[in-house]
Amino acid sequence: MLQTLFFHPLAITPVEVGVAITTSIAAFAATNLDDILILMLFFARVDHKLRPKHIWFGQYLGFGLLLLASLPGFFGGYFIPRPWLGLLGFLPIAIGFSHFFRKEETTLQTVHSEVLAHKPQSFLAPQTYQVATVTIANGGDNIGSYVPLFANSTPITLAITVAVFFIMIAVWCIVANLLSRHPAIAQFITRYGDRIVPFVLIGLGIYILVESKTYELLKAS
């Protein structure tokens, strides 16, 4: 088992690299589209207390903790047959369908204001901790989608996925900062973003089911 874990074949084709990158971008965008709206609110309130660096560091800190919480899915892939792991693909599908019926009881502005009002003690700057707290609190969909994605990854595709995710965080911060200065574009994303997310999540779940050959379980039965 340890040999399988630490000496997994490292060969990967260019097509597999492309698929890993595309899937990672789609998974990140689908699970963080609402997060970009919150980032826009943070950047819109930058002043002498809340600096851009607090937003950047807080976003990376919060997202890094979400990735750590999702890693058990990857290690489970060495102990559970892939067709059975593919059943986890139903998680993002379920999350996607839940978006069709979800009704938010509070606005993003309300959440943002409440979090900024809370000032926990930390070795980090309080503002950084606050941004990280919002990122984690808003990360339920992330973990539900990343666990099955990681479970069906090899060490190389996992490394590609994590690298793409960290690059996308920087892209998200830059885009959110720019959009915070353009209300018309921000309004468009707010209005139509929620209609796109469910289809991307459902597509991700179907990809996991097919890529892990879960349909073979039907033949076995």
**E strands present in the chain:** none
pLDDT of residue 118: 45
* Tokens found for residue 12: 């990967």
Is residue 13 included in any domain, yes or no? no
| Any domain includes 6 | no
Question: Cα 18–22–26 angle (5° rounding)?
Answer: 170
Confidence of residue 61 (pLDDT cuts 50, 70, 90): very high
Arithmetic mean of pLDDT over the chain = 76
Domain count, the chain: 1
Q: Does pLDDT of 183 surpass 80?
A: no
Tell which wins on pLDDT, 194 or 59.
59
pLDDT the model gives residue 91: 73
Domain assignment present for residue 64? The answer is yes
Residue 110: is its pLDDT beyond 80?
A: no
Residue 66 lies in a domain: yes
Which band of pLDDT confidence, cut at 50, 70 and 90, is reported for residue 111? very low
Residue 32 has pLDDT above 50, yes or no: yes
Task: Determine which of 22-26, 37-41, 66-70 has the lowest per-residue pLDDT on average.
Answer: 37-41
pLDDT at residue 3 greater than cutoff 50: no
Over residues 74-78, mean pLDDT: 73
The reported pLDDT for the residue numbered 157 is: 93
pLDDT reading at 121 higher than 50: no
Distance (Å, rounded) from C-alpha 132 to C-alpha 75?
Answer: 26
Structure pTM?
A: 0.67
Share of the chain above pLDDT 90, in %: 21
Q: From CA 104, how far away is CA 99, in angstroms rounded?
A: 10
- Position 73 confidence tier, pLDDT thresholds 50, 70, 90: confident
Task: Please tell me the distance from the alpha carbon of residue 72 to that of residue 63, in angstroms, as a whole number.
Answer: 16
Burial class (CB in 10 A: 0-12, 13-18, 19+), 33: middle
pLDDT at 140: 67
Domain assignment present for residue 1? The answer is no
Confirm whether 84 is domain-assigned. yes
Is 14 part of a structural domain of the chain? no
Structural domain including 191 reads 19-220
Residue in 152, 154, 108, 118 with CA at minimum distance from that of residue 13 = 154
| Residue 72 within any structural domain of the chain | yes
Burial of 12 (0-12, 13-18, 19+ CB in 10 A): middle
Which pLDDT score, from 0 to 100, does residue 105 have?
A: 43
